[in-house]
Structure 1
Amino acid sequence: MATTQLELDSLRAFLAIADRGSFTAAAGSVGRTQSAVSLKIRKLEDALGKPLFFRNAHRTELTPAGELLLGYARRLVRDSDAAVAHLRAPEATGAIRLGIGELFVPDHLPRVLTRFRRTHPRVRLEVQVGLSADLLKEMRAGALDLVVASRDSDDMGGRVVWTEPLRWVAATDFEWSEDGPVQLVALPAQCPYRRMAIDALAGMGRTSEVVYACTSLLGVEAAIAAGSGLAILGQSSLLRNPGLRDIGRHLPPLPVCQIAVFGDATSIHDAGGALIRFIEDSLTSEASLLKV
């Protein structure tokens, strides 16, 4: 069976109509005549075997098939544009002193940085892992160029490159008790999740005690899986570690974790901008695979 091919120009015309609500407005935005846009949509509909738009006198609206295609079309066009931009851009050079927050290390950044080194072999990365608060202090002191770390609030600034839900996490055989202090496993005192857990429990009238503290996220996960206590972690920890489960039904709801890039990429020549773009593009793909 022959494989149906989707032309990028046709997908661009499709997206323009979906975003602007008419063939006429879309034609102007993509620099084509209305008849040329109509022809592209007709070919796209013929290739897929389904109508993509309901047409009426007031507005053009997506059919169910059009709604389904919309997400795929945006991703295909975005990936195509990103590939062209990366391949046409001058090769980045230089050195970047990069700080990476401990909460983000095990899941995503190692894969991203390995791909970045292959793609930009002339950029030298000097990577330091630590707690977000410590890394941001070092950056402000001039010891680091960029920091990828958790962001507690918009006031902190930074450029958000990753989000995921936070969960109350415990061992798979954990049994919730209404008696006594809640036993917590945590990173050191500067960790925002540790403060969040203590405050949330206090808000529901429960005392807590940190019974196990560790300087690495993998160590925290191992202690939880061994039954030492519970903690607040990103949902990706649950997906990666079968010894953990979500016990949130007993506890207050949690916000979404934001990971941001801090620092002025323009101050460290083209290498910094290349790294930030690469992280953003790569983590967008990671998020679609993670399905959190």
Structure 2
Amino acid sequence: MYPSSASFTQLTTYFIDMAYRGASARERFAASVFLIRNQIGLPAATLATEAGISPNTLYLIEKSQINVHIDTLCKVAKALRTDPCAFFSNGNHPAPTAARLNNLRRLVGENIRAARQSRNVSQAQLTRELGLPLGYLGRIERTAPNVRLDTLEKIARELGLRFEALFADTNVSPSHDTQGEHQDIIRIRSTTNARHPARNSTENKQANARPEHRRRRSSKEKIAIVRESFTPGKTVLVVARNHDVNPNQVFRWRKLYRDGLLAEQQSGEQLVPASELANALNEIDRLKQLLEGKSTAQTGETAVVKRSRSKK
């Protein structure tokens, strides 16, 4: 997976190239553990012992063949004296304290909830888009279960966050190189707080208020936005933000589109209310029944006339 015989500088360059080519969180964690362990000259067996994991588990981690939990990440971070954010970014991070590692689950849950609320997306909608079990996202935000990296990466991607921002702690003063992920969470939390009157003054609420009136979009525009949200690599949150649309509205349009109820209106056509359309369909059914009844009666009368004529 990595260059077999290379200096730490070469290994670092390899890791940076890996990040630029869109490596997954699991691959970045594997590369970071390998690089940091080699930088400090720590044998794999020693690291496994200090982290309280088996040598085979560490081997699978460094080969990115295992989807680790947050607790396992914390064990490795403690043994390497490395902040969790440092596994996924190139910035300078201070060594983690025991309190930070112990509270990492709770912090991840709070960051996910803050990011979701700032984008005005419900738990049910995000759960449906991610394909997670019903209620699992709520557990992540409330009780902070031992989530795996792949699940966290899916959540970060859907929310439009950098993965390391999920582990960022706004109570820690960031260095110049790591201000990006901290700014992500600070911005998200400030936006979230703006939606709760008890947390902000009247001036802050007015500054963060959204415009009351939004322009109405035609069916053609709605369909274009929905189709863009189905494009590989695009998410509903990103598309909604690009078009200045509420994500909940895009979710609703997607459902109508799937049900065939979001049709493109041709030029010159007039829209008919659904109630009038239903009444018209009922009237058509009634007329069809009347015509069928008359047709049956006429057929019966013709048969009687033919029989009477044949008798004469």
Do both proteins adopt the same fold according to a TM-score greater than 0.5, normalized to the shorter chain?
A: no
The normalised TM-score by structure 1 is 0.21
Q: Structure 2-normalised TM-score?
A: 0.20
Q: Which has the higher helix share?
A: 2
Bigger fraction of residues in strand: 1
Higher-RCO chain (CA-CA 8 Å, sequence separation at least 6): 1
> Which structure would you say has the larger Rg?
2
